[in-house]
C-alpha cells in the first residue's frame, strides 16, 4: 500500500511539474496551419463529421449513410478527443457492444450475444485478418494499447461474411492505420495510468518520399498491472464462483493462494507494424507478441500467474492494377505465422523451477491469395468479383503439463499430451460476386453471394447471400433494409474438434472426455434503419432480428438423462460428464439501436447511443449429440425462460466534447448499463439467478494539442471518475460475478518532430 501511494504521489508531482513548466513558457501565439500537421476539432466541418467514407461494407469507398451495413466509425479525432487507449475502451462506447470477462481471455458481446470466445468477431488491420484458427478469434488483442497509429476504425454491427468470409458473423472490426503523409515526420507517444499501472510507448514514423511513394513504421510497447482483485468484501452470492478470493482450480498450495488476481493486465507486450506504398503496389507487415490476462489459477502475486499469449507475424503484398476507365483488378498475396498459448506460464513458481510450461500451445502457418475484380457499368452497376484461397498448416495442439496441475491419470510433469489431430492442413477457398446497383436517383440495391468451402473444420460448402436496399426520398431522410449472413466454422482445438463420445475415462478418475461443436455457426440478420440528418444533427434508429444457428457455448458438467437417442438407450448413472464446447441450439435476438450526434456550434459536439435487447432466446432447452442427451435448463447460459444470460438489456452512452482556444478540448462521457441476468450459483439445484446493475461509469478527458506550436500534445484523463468500485459483471460460462474496474487517473503525452 505504501508503494502504491508513493507511485501515485510521484505521478502527481510529475504532472504538476510538467504543467508549471508548460504554463511558464513565454510568448503564446495561436499556431498557424504552417506550424502543425494537425487538424483541430474546431476546424472540422459538418461534412467531416457526417459524410465519412467507409471501406468495410462494400470493399470500396462508400459514404457511411449509404453503406449497406449497420456501421459505427471512430475517427482519429474521436479517439484523441475522448482519450480512448484500446479497442476495448472503444467497443465499450460503440452502439450495442458489451465487453465482458472470461477466465482465459476478455470477451466481446454484441446485440445480446455473448459466449466464452470471440470467434464470431472478425478483426482486421488494413483489411488483413488477424484471427486465429486454433484460438477463439482474435484473443487478447483488442485490449492492447494504444491507438496512436490508427486513422479510423470501422465496425460493422452485424454479419459480413458475404464479403469477408468466416468469423465475420456477429461483427467486423477493421483497424485502418495512418499513411505516411498523415504522420509526415516522427510521433512519439507515452502514457501512464495510476490504478492499473498502465504504461505504454509508441513511435510512429511516416513520410511521403515522392508523390506516389510513402512509408509508415509504428512500434509500440505496453505493460499493465491490471486492476487488483477487490477482496475483503462480504459474499454476495452463494456458490463456488464467488469473487473475491476464488480460484477456478481451487488450489490451496502456497504458490496459488486461491485468488483471481488482477484483470485487464498485459505483460511485456510489443508490436511493430509497417506499411509501404509504391504507386499501385503496397506492402504491409506486422510482428507482435501479446501477453494478456488468463484468470485460470491466477494469483495476486504477479510473478506467479498464467497468461494468454499470442505471437503473430504476417506479410501482405498487394497490387491494384487499373485495366481501363471502368475496370481494375486487385491482387493480394499474404503469409501468416501464429503461435497461441491460452494458458502460458513463463514466470517461475520457485527458485528451483526454471523451465517454462505452456498449455494448449498451437502453431499456424498460412499462405494465401485473394483476387478482386471491379467493373463499373454505365455508372449504374458497381460489380465486384472475388476469389480467395488460404492454406494453413496446423501443428499439433499440445499441452506441456506442469506438476502443479498434474491429476490422476494424466501424463507426468513435462510430458507432452496431444490435444487434437496433429499435422493437418486447413484449406479454405471462396468465390463471391456482388453488384451495387444504382436503380434510380433515390434507390440503390446491393445483391451479393459467397460460396465458401473448407476441408478441416467442417467439410462443407456454404452459401452466404446478402441483400440491401437504400432509399433516400429526400436529402434529409435515408431508409435502409439489409439482409446479411455470417458463418463461423469450429476453431481447431480440443473444445471444438473433440469427437469422443461422452463417457468417463478408462481409469475412472476425474478426467472426463470432451466432445465439441459438430456443426458451424450460421447467422442471418434482418436490419431496418431510418436515418435523418440536418446541417448540424444526425440521428438513426435500427431495428434488428438476428438468428444464430448452432450457437457455440460452454456446456459445463452434466449428469446423464434417461432417454433414447437414435435407438440407443442412455442410462442415468449419477456420474458427471464434462463437455467443453457444444452447439446450444438456435438463438434469436431482437432489439433496437439508436445513435445521435449534434453539433450546434463549431466548438460543441453532443452524442449518444442507446441499445435495447427486446429478447434473446434459445428455441429449446433440449440438447443431444453423439448418443447423449440432456437439458440446458438451469445451466450457466440460460435462465428459466430460455433467455441468454450475461448481457444487459439496456446500454447507454452519452457525452459531450467542447473545444476552446482552438487547441484545447474537454470530453465528458457516461456509460450506463442495466438489467444483466447471471447465474447466482450452478452448485445448487434448482439454479438461482440474479440481476446485476444498474451501473454507471463516468470518464473525463482533457486534451491540449500542439502546445505553444511545439508539436507536443497532452491528454489528462480520469477513467471511472466516481470510482464505481462495487460494480459487477456476470460471467457467462459459470455462476457468480466479477468485480469491474476501479478509478484510474493518468496522462498521455505525444510529441511530433
Q: What is the pLDDT of residues 53-89, one digit of tens each?
A: 899 999 988 888 888 999 999 999 999 999 999 999 9
Q: What is the pLDDT of residues 451-466, one digit of tens each?
A: 999 888 777 889 999 9
How far apart are the C-alpha atoms of 536 and 47, rounded to whole Å? 10
Please, are residues 491 and 167 in contact by the beta-carbon 8 Å criterion? no
What pLDDT, on a 0 to 100 scale, did the predictor assign at position 557? Answer: 53
Query: CA Rg, the chain, in Å?
Result: 26
Quick check: 256 pLDDT over 80? no
What pLDDT, on a 0 to 100 scale, did the predictor assign at position 217? Answer: 96
Quick check: 127 pLDDT over 70? yes
Please, are residues 117 and 633 in contact by the beta-carbon 8 Å criterion? no
Closest CA to 290 of 395, 220, 371, 348: 220
Quick check: 708 pLDDT over 70? yes
Q: What percent of the chain has pLDDT over 70?
A: 69
At residue 208 the predicted structure's pLDDT band, cuts being 50, 70 and 90, is very high
Name, in order, each residue with C-beta under 8 angstroms of 280's C-beta and a sequence gap of 6 or more.
319, 320, 321, 322
Beta strands 416-418 and 424-438 are: unpaired
Name, in order, each residue with C-beta under 8 angstroms of 617's C-beta and a sequence gap of 6 or more.
587, 588, 641, 642, 643, 644
Highest mean pLDDT: which range of 142-146, 540-544, 734-738: 540-544
Q: What is the pLDDT of residues 402-448, one digit of tens each?
A: 444 434 444 444 444 445 444 578 899 999 999 999 999 999 999 99
**What average pLDDT score do residues 102-130 get?**
87
What pLDDT, on a 0 to 100 scale, did the predictor assign at position 82? Answer: 95
Please, are residues 397 and 361 in contact by the beta-carbon 8 Å criterion? yes
DSSP-assigned letter for residue 42:
G
At residue 261 the predicted structure's pLDDT band, cuts being 50, 70 and 90, is low
Q: What is the pLDDT of residues 291-345, one digit of tens each?
A: 887 665 455 556 656 677 889 999 999 999 999 999 999 999 999 999 887 665 5
Higher pLDDT, 157 or 569: 157
**What average pLDDT score do residues 678-699 get?**
75
Domain boundaries, the chain: 2-347+355-752
Quick check: 30 pLDDT over 50? no
How far apart are the C-alpha atoms of 377 and 631, rounded to whole Å? 55
Please, are residues 234 and 245 in contact by the beta-carbon 8 Å criterion? no
Read out DSSP for 195-264? Answer: SS--EEEEEEEEEEEETTEEEEEEEEEEEE--BPP--SPPP-S-STT-SSS--TT---STT--S----BS
How far apart are the C-alpha atoms of 12 and 4, rounded to whole Å? 12
What pLDDT, on a 0 to 100 scale, did the predictor assign at position 678? Answer: 82
Q: What percent of the chain has pLDDT over 90?
A: 48
How far apart are the C-alpha atoms of 271 and 194, rounded to whole Å? 23
Please, are residues 54 and 73 in contact by the beta-carbon 8 Å criterion? yes
**What average pLDDT score do residues 616-624 get?**
85
What pLDDT, on a 0 to 100 scale, did the predictor assign at position 101? Answer: 78
Quick check: 559 pLDDT over 60? no
Higher pLDDT, 64 or 142: 64
Question: How many of the other CB atoms lie within 10 Å of CB of 253?
Answer: 11
- Which architecture, in CATH terms, is 2-347+355-752? Beta Barrel (2.40)
Q: Please provide the average confidence, as pLDDT, over all residues in the chain.
A: 78
Amino acid at each position: 500500500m505504501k508503494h502504491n501511494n508513493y507511485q501515485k504521489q510521484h505521478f502527481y508531482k510529475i504532472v504538476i511539474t510538467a504543467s508549471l513548466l508548460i504554463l511558464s513558457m513565454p510568448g503564446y501565439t495561436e499556431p498557424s496551419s504552417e506550424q502543425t500537421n494537425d487538424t483541430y476539432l474546431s476546424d472540422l466541418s459538418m461534412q467531416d463529421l457526417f459524410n465519412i467514407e467507409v471501406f468495410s461494407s462494400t470493399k470500396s469507398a462508400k459514404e457511411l449513410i449509404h453503406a449497406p451495413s449497420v456501421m459505427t466509425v471512430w475517427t482519429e479525432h474521436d479517439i484523441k478527443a475522448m482519450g480512448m487507449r484500446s479497442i476495448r475502451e472503444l467497443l465499450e462506447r460503440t452502439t450495442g457492444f458489451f465487453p465482458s470477462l472470461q477466465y482465459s481471455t476478455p470477451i466481446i458481446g454484441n446485440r445480446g450475444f455473448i459466449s466464452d470466445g470471440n470467434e464470431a468477431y472478425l478483426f482486421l488491420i488494413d483489411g488483413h485478418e488477424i484471427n486465429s484458427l486454433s484460438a477463439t478469434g482474435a484473443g487478447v488483442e483488442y485490449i492492447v494499447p494504444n491507438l496512436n497509429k490508427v486513422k479510423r476504425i470501422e465496425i460493422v454491427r452485424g454479419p459480413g461474411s458475404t464479403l469477408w468470409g468466416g468469423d465475420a458473423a456477429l461483427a467486423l472490426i477493421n483497424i485502418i492505420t495512418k499513411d505516411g503523409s498523415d504522420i509526415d515526420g516522427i510521433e512519439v507517444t507515452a502514457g501512464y495510468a495510476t490504478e492499473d499501472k498502465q504504461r505504454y510507448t509508441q513511435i510512429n514514423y511516416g513520410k511521403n518520399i515522392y508523390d506516389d511513394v510513402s512509408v509508415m513504421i509504428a512500434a509500440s510497447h505496453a505493460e499493465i498491472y491490471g486492476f487488483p482483485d477487490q477482496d475483503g468484501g462480504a459474499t454476495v452470492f452463494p456458490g463456488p464462483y464467488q469473487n473475491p478470493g476464488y480460484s477456478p482450480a481451487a488450489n490451496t498450495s502456497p504458490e496459488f493462494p486461491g485468488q483471481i488476481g488482477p484483470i485487464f493486465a498485459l505483460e511485456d507486450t510489443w508490436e511493430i507494424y509497417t506499411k509501404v506504398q509504391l504507386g499501385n503496389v503496397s506492402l504491409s507487415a506486422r510482428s507482435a507478441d501479446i501477453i494478456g490476462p488468463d484468470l485460470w489459477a491466477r494469483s495476486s502475486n504477479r510473478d506467479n500467474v498464467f497468461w494468454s499469449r499470442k505471437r503473430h507475424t504476417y506479410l501482405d503484398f498487394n497490387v491494384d492494377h487499373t485495366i481501363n476507365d471502368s475496370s481494375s483488378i486487385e491482387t493480394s498475396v499474404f503469409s501468416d505465422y501464429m503461435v497461441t498459448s491460452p494458458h502460458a506460464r513463463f514466470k517461475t513458481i520457485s527458485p528451483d523451477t526454471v523451465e517454462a510450461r505452456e498449455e494448449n500451445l498451437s502453431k499456424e502457418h498460412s499462405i494465401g491469395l485473394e483476387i478482386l475484380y471491379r467493373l463499373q457499368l454505365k455508372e449504374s452497376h458497381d460489380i465486384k468479383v472475388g476469389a480467395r484461397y488460404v492454406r494453413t498448416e496446423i501443428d499439433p495442439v499440445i499441452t506441456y503439463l506442469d506438476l502443479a496441475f498434474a491429476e490422476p491419470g494424466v501424463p507426468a510433469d513435462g510430458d507432452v499430451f496431444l490435444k487434437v489431430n496433429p499435422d493437418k492442413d486447413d484449406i479454405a477457398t471462396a468465390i463471391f460476386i456482388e453488384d451495387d446497383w444504382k436503380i434510380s436517383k433515390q434507390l440503390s440495391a446491393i445483391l451479393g453471394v459467397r460460396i465458401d468451402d473448407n476441408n478441416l473444420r467442417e467439410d462443407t460448402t456454404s452459401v452466404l447471400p446478402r441483400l440491401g436496399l437504400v432509399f433516400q426520398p429526400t436529402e434529409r431522410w435515408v431508409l435502409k433494409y439489409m439482409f446479411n449472413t455470417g458463418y463461423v466454422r469450429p476453431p481447431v482445438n480440443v473444445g471444438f474438434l473433440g469427437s469422443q463420445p461422452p463417457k468417463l475415462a478408462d481409469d475412472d478418475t476425474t478426467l472426463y472426455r470432451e466432445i465439441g461443436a459438430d456443426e458451424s455457426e450460421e447467422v442471418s440478420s434482418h436490419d431496418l434503419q431510418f436515418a435523418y440528418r440536418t446541417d448540424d444533427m444526425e440521428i438513426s434508429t435500427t431495428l434488428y432480428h438476428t438468428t444464430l444457428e448452432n450457437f457455440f457455448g460452454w456446456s459445463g458438467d452434466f449428469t446423464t438423462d434417461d432417454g433414447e437417442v437414435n435407438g440407443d438407450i442412455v442410462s442415468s448413472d449419477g456420474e458427471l460428464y464434462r463437455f467443453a464446447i457444444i452447439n446450444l441450439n438456435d438463438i434469436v435476438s431482437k432489439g433496437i439501436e439508436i445513435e445521435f450526434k449534434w453539433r450546434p456550434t463549431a466548438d460543441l459536439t453532443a452524442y449518444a447511443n442507446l441499445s435495447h435487447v427486446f429478447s434473446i432466446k434459445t428455441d429449446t432447452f433440449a440438447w443431444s449429440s453423439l448418443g447423449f442427451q440432456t437439458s440446458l435448463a438451469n445451466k450457466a447460459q440460460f435462465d428459466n425462460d430460455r433467455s441468454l444470460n450475461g448481457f444487459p438489456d439496456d446500454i447507454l452512452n452519452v457525452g459531450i466534447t467542447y473545444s476552446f482556444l482552438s487547441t484545447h478540448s474537454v470530453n465528458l462521457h457516461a456509460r450506463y448499463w442495466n438489467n444483466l441476468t447471471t447465474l447466482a450459483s450452478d452448485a445448487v439445484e434448482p439454479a438461482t439467478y440474479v440481476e446485476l446493475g444498474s451501473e454507471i461509469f463516468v470518464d473525463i478527458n482533457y486534451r491540449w494539442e500542439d502546445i505553444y506550436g511545439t508539436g507536443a500534445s497532452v491528454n489528462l484523463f480520469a477513467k471511472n471518475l466516481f470510482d464505481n468500485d462495487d460494480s459487477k459483471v456476470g460471467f457467462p460460462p459459470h455462476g457468480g460475478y466479477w468485480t469491474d474496474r476501479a478509478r484510474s487517473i493518468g496522462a498521455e503525452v505525444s510529441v511530433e518532430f
